[in-house]
Structures are given as C-alpha cells and as structure tokens.
Structure 1
Amino acid sequence: MDDGGSSSEWNRGGSLSVSEVAGLLEQETLQLLKKECGGLQTLLKNNHQVFRVEGGRVHIRDWRDRKSSRADTKRKPVAPGALKTRPCWFYDHHPQRCPLQAEHCAFAHGPDDLRPSTKPRKKIKNDAL
C-alpha cells in the first residue's frame, strides 16, 4: 500500500457540528469524557493533530493543508527531539492511511519509524514534602 495519497484520492471526509458529534455518543461516554479529560470539546482540542474545530464544526485534519486555520500558522515548528516519537493516528486508523509521505509527517508511520523522545521528562511536584 502507498504511504500517502494525492489530495484527490485521500478522503478527508465532511464535518459535523460539535453537538452532532456529542449526539453520536452515549450519555455514559460523554460523562466519562467530562470526568477524564474535561469533556468532548477538550478532547477535540487536545487531539489537534487529528481534529480541527472551526466555527463549531469538527473536521478531520488534513496536514497537507498548512493553511487550514489561522491558529496553525502561529504554531512553532516541531522540535527535532519530538519528531517521530508518537505513532501517526492517520497511518494507524484512517482507511487510506496518512496523506503525507513518511518523511514529511512528524509522526511515526509504523514501529520501524518510531524513535525515543529526546525531550527532558517533566518533573513531578511532590506536595507532601
């Protein structure tokens, strides 16, 4: 299988309103999301590498489109120590895999592409001391 398709071949899908996405989930799932990560909108925001929320609508992000929103143009480039340290969600989950070739994607396309992070670990505060 090809490691990425052209823009006319890769299906970026449509969009749904945030309320439509919430309506697709069971109430129990929504409550769990609220408890574990602050709710559906926070989940979408924290997974910005996969989802783009614009004008109250949820889209699957297409990394070939660098001008997909004004916020993206303000982002700092990915630190070299962070490249390929996490699996590519699209490569693992999208039926057509990632739209980017492996060398152009900041995420790992398979286990052979995965690298250990060189970012220093965050120190955990110990409130008991």
Structure 2
Amino acid sequence: MNLYLLLPLILAVFAFGNLSSSFAEIESIDVVENKLVTLIGEGFDSDTRDLSFKWTQIYGEPVKLSSTTEPEPTFMAPNVKNGEIKVLTFELRVFDDNERESMDTVVITVDPVNSPPEASASAKQ
C-alpha cells in the first residue's frame, strides 16, 4: 500500500497575543488517485500550549477525513477518469484556549494513474 505523506503540506504558524500570522509553506500539491494522503497542520502560540485544530473540506468531491480535529488527518484520494483531474480544497483553523483563531487553506489536485496502454495481437489463417 502506498502512502503519500505530504510534509509539509500545510505549515501554518500562528502567534496569538501581540502577533498574528499564518502562511502555507505549500499552497497546492498534486497526488495520484486511490492513494492515502496525509494533511499536515501545525500551530504555535507563545501564550499557551493548548491549541485545537479544525479541518474542513471547502471545495471538491467530498472525501472522508480520518479526523477533523487532529493536526494530521488522512483521506483516500478519489478516483479520477483518464484525461481529467479533481481539485480538493481544505481549510485549517487553529484556535488557542481564548478562542482566538487563524486560518489557512491548501489545494490538492488529484490526477489519474497513468496506466500503460493495453496491446492485443492476433493472427488469421
């Protein structure tokens, strides 16, 4: 079984208090259909260690995340017809214990497996 670990798929650094910022290290990435994909979310708050995470799929064919509240949920990339792609967009919100939040998104492009053509040969008498 192939596992795609997208590190850092999304690296969001959050500083609550005097500073507030977020960024996506990688804003989009391509994966192949029918493979396990791991979203990587991170947060930092100089005021507290208690952060909570909320992943939401905001675009594309619905997929089932292994968790919407863990920093690193997984999902199975959907089937894609040859010659097409599917685009999935996920939003990550990170909250501190005072309910302050920061948000970032990541776009996943799912490509079909590039299967080799099938050849068939025969002969007639």
Same fold per superposition (TM over 0.5): no
TM value normalised by structure 2 = 0.22
TM value normalised by structure 1 = 0.22
Q: Report which of the two has the higher share of helix.
A: 1
